[in-house]
Amino acid sequence: PEMGRTLVELFYDVVSPYSWLGFEVLCRYQHIWNIDLRFRPAFLGGVMQATGNKPPAMLPKRAEYMLKDIKRMAKYYQVPVQISEDDFQRIFSTSNLGAMRFITAIDMTQPRYLETLSREFWMRFWSQVSIFTPNYIIFSQVARQAGLSPELSQKLLEMISSPAVKNRLKETTEEAIKYGAFGMPAVVAHFNGEPHLFFGSDRLELLGSVIGE
């Protein structure tokens, strides 16, 4: 980071609506706070498995609360998250590994598109909600929405199954775990020579206070 700027890393997965909320709020704060925001696409499934965590919605009372909570936060932060009970079930039955590899591939080739592409995946999964199944046709559509050329999109699709992309996603996920992450979003602020982990999208005021904002 530039002198005197705090590096803030956001470990996120587009399968997570809370990650979307945290992402949008940090995207806004990066223009106000003295921070360098670094997006770190990671795999939530890998974090859950490594830490023995369970999806919160598996507990019925918690799922009930999450629906209300996400709706309230979406309204408060003005992020167009649409969510219903069926969405939880649908999410558990799909793999988003391909989507996170696709996003990792853009991070490795054309990182300037990372923010837009990630947002388009959330829009597709959590706003237009009609189709959730991540497949290659959908990846191409999302890429087009994000302003990527068909050539670049094709290149990313070819990269998805490459060891380079798989390893990069795995390494980023392991890094999140090393910082203490057990779910997402995981926000790590590097301040006074040490990393400070904040979990979730509702700790950003606290993050601000720790880094002197």
Cα–Cα distance measured from residue 152 to residue 115, given in angstroms and rounded to the nearest whole number: 16
Looking at residue 176, which CATH number applies to its domain?
3.40.30.10
Q: Name the residues annotated as catalytic.
A: 16
Cα–Cα distance measured from residue 177 to residue 148, given in angstroms and rounded to the nearest whole number: 31
Residue 17, preceding peptide bond in cis (omega within 30° of 0) = no
Burial class of residue 30, CB neighbours in 10 A (0-12, 13-18, 19+): middle
Per-residue pLDDT of 131-178, as tens digits, reads 556 677 889 999 999 999 999 999 999 999 999 999 999 999 999 999
Tokens read off for 180? 């203490």
Residue 1 inside a domain? The answer is no
Residue 147 inside a domain? The answer is yes
Cα–Cα distance measured from residue 201 to residue 11, given in angstroms and rounded to the nearest whole number: 12
Neighbours of 115 (CB within 10 A): 15
Residue 154 inside a domain? The answer is yes
Domain tally, the chain: 1
Global pTM reads 0.91
Q: Which domain holds residue 66?
A: 6-211
Residue 170 inside a domain? The answer is yes
Per-residue pLDDT of 15-66, as tens digits, reads 888 999 999 999 999 999 999 999 999 999 899 888 888 777 777 888 888 8
